[in-house]
Chain A
Amino acid sequence: MSRSPSGRRVSFSVTITRVTETSVILALVVLTALAFDFTNGFHDTANAMATSIATKALRPKTAVALSGILNLVGAFLSVEVALTVTNAVVKIQDKSGAPKTELLADGGSALLLIILAGLVGGIVWNLLTWLVGLPSSSSHALFGGLVGATIAGLGWGGVNWNGDGSKLDGVVGKVLLPAVLSPVIAAVVAAVGTWIIFKITAGVAARFTDKGFRWGQIGSASLVSLAHGTNDAQKTMGVITLALIASGHWSDTANIPLWVKVSAAVAIALGTYLGGWRIIRTLGKGLTDISPPQGTAAQSGAAAVILASSHLGFALSTTHVATGSVLGSGLGRPGATVRWAVAGRMVAAWLITLPAAGLVGAVMWWVGDLIGGMAGALVVFTLLVLASVAMWMRSRTGRVDSSNVNDDWEGTDVTDVVEKPVPAVAN
């Protein structure tokens, strides 16, 4: 159990100070949540658009603009309240979505600190994986951060490891098992689709296949973007609303404040439009070389698997599905090669996403708790800003943007550039 920072005699002036202190912490939580939403957007642009950019079905800027708009629309399409999003992995809310009462003392600052630390864990991991150009799951980063912060704040018992046995739930059911199963399912679907498409269109004039599959790609990629906006923006909306309820600024567990919805939708759309070019490059060029029919099969497979899963309540990560389907399309195309070293590095990143984001979340909680109160939250937020700026500065060496996202993969590995700057020698 965490120690409570309270214990002083509550006088009128102390109450006033505390109200303002909580408001500052709340503001930091909201800002950090929107920042996470933004990284979620640019981290996941690749899931929908990497294949269309790689095959030049869409120009890079057009692709990210289209995906951004569809994410924005998608975020408004779902009015389902995702207030209970944290329940999948931690026990800081009850079933209705209301925060646990024992965390509400002192203006809900105990709960706010857990959320803040968890969000910082998610953002730091998202930025780090973006820096090395690896598509890792944003939802897993968020869950990892929350689990770490909860373990630090409430102990192991605060984590929902295995659910209560009535449905697929907990860290095992909502995070680990889908992470193993969903890329495999997506890979099988895309491989079958690609293989049959190549059989069907063998010998058909390129003027028909090029134009046809170009539209096939755009359509299927759009569907993935829309589904992404619907699923992922919800998570941030849920987290912000939880923080508002905990600090006493909102009480309705059946609705989300409009400004929360609008700001979360705009944040994810802007992030998507910025485009995580490093990740787009890895997914579009690094894993396998993609042709238009493959791209169509990969995105259709991804869209179908994402939609079917959300229909069946089978939680999964868009990133794992998209990566699996791109890999599958490489396996299904006769004569294509899959760069297993790149795939292996992605899987390694997936494996350490939860513990790595969790570690950052836990450390941030300890730092925030040690200093305590508003000062603690401010220090945590400052650390996040410093880490983000440092990683952004690092990304300036070996820059990847819309101009070079489609360069040949061999010899210009993003990861290598980051680890040891390589002189630009053609090989």
Chain B
Amino acid sequence: MISRRSLLTAAVAAAATGGLAACAKDGGGTNTGNGNGKITLGFSQTGSESGWRTANTKSIQESATAAGIDLKFSDAQGKEENQIAAVRSFIQQKVDVISFSPLKVTGWDTVLKEAKAANIPVILTDRGVEADASLYVSLLGSDFTEEGKRAAVMFKEICKDMAAVNIAQLEGSTGSAPAIERTKGFAEAIASETKFKIVVTQTGEFTRSKGKEVMEAFLKSHPEINALYAQNDDMGLGAIQAIEAAGKKPGTDIRIVTVDAIKDGMTALAAGKINGIVECNPLLGPQLMEMVKKVKAGQTVEKRIITIEKDFYQKDAAAALPTRQY
């Protein structure tokens, strides 16, 4: 069965020689699928390191079924070499479209060229790569710099009544793309108003316990802190415990904005302990499937597609909470 299908795919590919390579870009393709009418998508996930990632995986699997797309799913378990091997095996299996969330930004040139040589379009999700942009069709995911800017906008909104805002910043894992870009975007956007000042910044490694430990020290070395920007919900949740232990009221004495909008974060937002959350949406499955179909049909897609995301203030939390999936 498999060999018959791959033979058919090979025959189709051979018939449309040359035209296919450009079809994803200029939309002039004649690609008609792999013979059984069902699109095959090979997807390589980074691993299952967090609740966010689990929700991401679930979204992709469910929306593939819903869209009638045949999904070949591979989990790289946190290793880039597994991911490269998975992409190679997708090429050999002659899937219609390859998609993956690159673990690291570098090391992708060779395998992306192989995919291009085999006329298989590649869509990146969640994170980008440092490779020639012609080697992939599109990048679907959050814009981390933009998330930092959105956090700054939220601060301007929730701190309207304050004369001086002394912000403590909990950064993500040092060197990771979200940590670098969320710091950059925030610093750029907050600078426009002089009452905002980032008084102290340190990594909380994206975890609750580190977020709590770092905030404990911040509160003692910088008693003037009256705002907290945590680059994910978990660090913010840990910091809230430290703030309460120091006898201050999170959300009132110290205004808090976090990024992600996981269920626990939204619960704290609804309870008034967080003032605002910038959503970083893992549920990009439906958008991805739509893109796969477009690419397959030879239509043009944008080089960079931002996932649909919202900003949540306290008033929005109660309504959004019951439908929160992750």
Q: Do A and B bind each other?
A: no
Binding site for B on A (CB under 8 A): none
